Amino acid sequence: MTNLLWVSATALLVLAFACLWRADVGPTIQDRLLAVNVAGTKAMAVLVLMAAIAGHAFLIDVAIVYALLNLVITLAATRYIESGRLRSESPADELPVRAEGPG
């Protein structure tokens, strides 16, 4: 059983390196983001497999944090690519930029 888990984790790591190849050559920034996102998902699965192999339950918490970070990073980066800003779609909703200092 542990052998199967080891084989799965190794296969996932090899496939994650294939994703990193796409992140290297991917012609557009969106391709690179997609590849990094998929590699992060695979790393999350590898963490879960390592938790099952070694019996360390805290690795599952690490995997949850990894998945959340992956989601937030990708959403923020795509939002920035799409509209050039992070907060909102329209410039009127932006927080006012303080151009003039006090005094």
Pattern of binders to other proteins over 44-83, x per CB under 8 A?
xx--xx-xx----x--xx-xx--xx-xx--xx--xx-xx-
DSSP three-state, residue 26: coil
Phi then psi dihedrals of residue 77, to 5 deg: -70, -40
d(C-alpha 60, C-alpha 46), whole Å: 10
Cβ atoms of residues 33 and 78 within 8 Å:
yes
Name which position in 31, 56, 91, 94 contacts other proteins (CB under 8 A).
Answer: 31
Cβ atoms of residues 33 and 20 within 8 Å:
no
Taking the complex as a whole, the smallest distance from the CB of residue 54 to other proteins amounts, in Å, to 13
Question: Which of 4, 99 has the CB closer to other proteins?
Answer: 4
Cβ atoms of residues 9 and 52 within 8 Å:
no
Which positions lie near other proteins, rule CB under 8 A?
Answer: 1, 4-5, 8, 11-12, 15, 18-19, 21-22, 28, 30-31, 33-35, 37-38, 41-42, 44-45, 48-49, 51-52, 57, 60-61, 63-64, 67-68, 70-71, 74-75, 78-79, 81-82
